[in-house]
Structure 1
Amino acid sequence: MGMVDAARQQVAGVYHRQVGDILVTALHDGYQDAPLSTVHGMAEAEAAAMLRAAFRPVPRRTNVSCFLIRSGGRVALVDAGCGPSKPTVGRLPANLAAAGVAPGAVEAVLMTHLHPDHFGGLSDGAGTAAFPHAELALHEAEHAYWHDDAAMAAADPARQKMFFQGARTHLAPYAARTRLFSSGEVFPGVTALPLPGHTPGHTGFLVASGGASLLLWGDIIHVQELQVPRPEVTMAVDVDPDQAITTRRRVFDQVATDRQAFAGAHLHFPALAHLARTPQGYALVPDAFTLALEGDAP
């Protein structure tokens, strides 16, 4: 009997969810670790204790996922991941290939917002688009904010370079094929829902078909172990923390009341879940792995 080589890496980060006639595929881009100083609204010691109690690493570890949408023979991608900026991220191209989709087949890239972990995979930063035939669609307020020179001048130098200039650089190859929206259907069966606060044009996308739906809620939360029990906890990168809290509370109430299935860029992969009410507030209930593409009935 021959020797079997030990595994050197995880298998592909790809997970499908059928929503009526639309297939949504979660694609893992990796994860990022960040200091607890990026968590606002609670003491660092308390945040560390909550993470350790949940068997999570300290400093905080945040997943990054993108979502592929195949609807009516067309292909869209929600967000583009970090790009190859760190050793633990940049897995989107490999997982897109594992899902059977070539970059040239992506017709639209729907942006939840313009932060580096969402726009970094759009281009190589030197003018070459990663998705050569794709239209780029984003909220008009999002595009306006990150292209506002006065807003950039008011930011600290690091954020000017990484966020403002980074967004402009990675969006540049799509300048001739950028579509701005405010709300409404942005792709067959996909409706844009403005969820401002984290950024001015932060957007969720409701995928709906055949009586089924899935809300791709963007960055409503970054650290589920902290922000589900404490919705008032914000992130250092929130542009308007107070509005982010208001939006988070509203979305929490909506998905819990409606038993709405959702997926988030920063929920632990494969990032599909429900939110249940508890006497203390809310509890995140990750979807169980299932061989049925439709998922288990809620």
Structure 2
Amino acid sequence: MIRRRIALLTFSALACTAAVAPVGPLVGAAHAEAPAVRTQVPGFYRMALGDAEVTALYDGYIDLDTKILSNASPAEIQRLLARMFIAGEKVQTAVNTYLVNVGGKLILIDTGTAKAFGPTLGFVADHLRAAGYTPEQVDVVLLTHLHPDHVNGLLGADGKPLFPNAQVRVAQVESDFWLSADNTAKAPKDFQPFFKMAQAAAAPYQASGQWKPFHDESEVAPGIKPVPAVGHTPGHSAYVVESKGERLLILGDTVHSYAVQFARPEVAIEFDTDKKQAVATRKKLFAWAAREKLAVAGMHLPFPGLGHIRSEGKAFAWVPVEYSPLRDRAK
């Protein structure tokens, strides 16, 4: 018994000594310098919606000048930005698109900018592939409107259709407005390139018969219906995706600045064709989403641009989605 106790005491002492004794080679290894990677993960995020799978695709970002916001003083706009820890005259603004896999069809809502606005944008095709798909697999492209940051991605770097097997659908009013030679000629000179980019993106799909404008609010793809959201442009459309009773409202360009326009929905942006109507549309869609507790997506909300809208009196608040695995993987 005495020998056993001595042995145990000896073992404990050795263990304590080992615990505090420095280990030369390992100390050096702990301080080895690792180079910074300086790259981000691919820009896609998946969300389950009933039987549908929605994948947010990040096209990139553009820095927008806060001077293009109106109906509020510069001081008020800066105060609202500061509440969200945003400072300066330029605000990083995301460009998002959404891929919906439902009913045996692959539907892309908006296409991003291609490389029309510099190197920080134009990554939809890359992130589509990173998400496990190819452009050739897309069956339908739905466009919220024909501004270049939503339509230019219809073409690849070679100028050919990036989605060769897809029907392209947009409101007839929107198509008629932007593809009109008369409207192009009447537009202010610095705005005419917007018309010309829309026409160039649409042209090959028109030639092949794949350009299919819609006239009403009927279903345009499995489980997806357009919602008139005019004001930002004459035929601007939101879309509602529904599967097994769950709904996602895709706002398009109903909102550009989450820091300002939820708290002050009356704030318009320079790109709105009809600012008064754009404000009325924003208030209406925000109120609907808050009342019905709809899931919401926005093309210029911080990526992945998914979440909910909460009502706060006459104002609103953005509630972003929390990161989570898809439900079937969590079971």
TM-score higher than 0.5: yes
Distance 1:87 1:43 in 2: 32
- Aligned to 2:213, what secondary structure does the other structure show? strand
Distance 2:255 2:169 in 1: 22
How many Å apart are 1:72 and its aligned residue? 2.1
Which of 61, 66, 80 lines up with 1:50 in the alignment?
A: 80
User: Is 1:110 paired with 2:177?
Assistant: no
CA contact 2:248–2:296 (8 Å) conserved in 1: yes
Identity %: 37
- Aligned to 2:311, what secondary structure does the other structure show? strand
Aligned counterpart, 2:5: none
- Describe the shift of the 1:292–1:103 C-alpha distance in structure 2 as closer, same or farther (beyond 3 A): closer
CA contact 1:17–1:294 (8 Å) conserved in 2: no
How many Å apart are 1:40 and its aligned residue? 1.6
- Describe the shift of the 1:197–1:294 C-alpha distance in structure 2 as closer, same or farther (beyond 3 A): farther
Task: Pick the structure with more helix per residue.
Answer: 2
Which of 73, 83, 100 lines up with 2:104 in the alignment?
A: 73
Alignment of 1:120-135 (within 5 A): 120-124=152-156, 127-135=159-167
- Higher relative contact order, chain-length normalized (CA < 8 Å, sep 6+): 1
CA contact 2:253–2:299 (8 Å) conserved in 1: yes
Distance 1:266 1:40 in 2: 17
Task: Pick the structure with more strand per residue.
Answer: 1
Which of 243, 246, 253 lines up with 1:219 in the alignment?
A: 253
Aligned counterpart, 2:303: 269
Alignment of 1:215-254 (within 5 A): 215-254=249-288
Q: Highest Rg: 1 or 2?
A: 2
CA contact 2:265–2:315 (8 Å) conserved in 1: no
Alignment of 1:1-298 (within 5 A): 4-58=34-88, 59-85=90-116, 86-124=118-156, 127-161=159-193, 163-175=194-206, 176-182=209-215, 183-279=217-313, 281-293=315-327
How many Å apart are 1:126 and its aligned residue? 6.4
Question: TM-score when scaled to structure 2?
Answer: 0.84
How many residue pairs were aligned? 295
CA RMSD of aligned residues (A): 1.9
- Residue-by-residue CA offset, 1:123-156 (whole Å, 9 max, x unaligned): 1486411111111100000001102333323322
- Describe the shift of the 1:173–1:88 C-alpha distance in structure 2 as closer, same or farther (beyond 3 A): same
Distance 1:18 1:192 in 2: 20
Distance 2:49 2:314 in 1: 31
Distance 1:280 1:250 in 2: 12
Moved more, 145-154 or 26-35: 145-154
- Aligned to 2:85, what secondary structure does the other structure show? coil
Unaligned runs of 5+ in 1: none
- Residue-by-residue CA offset, 1:37-83 (whole Å, 9 max, x unaligned): 21121222332232133112431221100000111221110000011
How many Å apart are 1:201 and its aligned residue? 1.0
Distance 1:40 1:173 in 2: 37
- Residue-by-residue CA offset, 1:163-183 (whole Å, 9 max, x unaligned): 111100111111021111132
Distance 1:218 1:291 in 2: 25
Distance 2:298 2:267 in 1: 17
How many Å apart are 1:288 and its aligned residue? 1.2
Letter in 2 for 1:257: R
Moved more, 103-112 or 85-94: 85-94
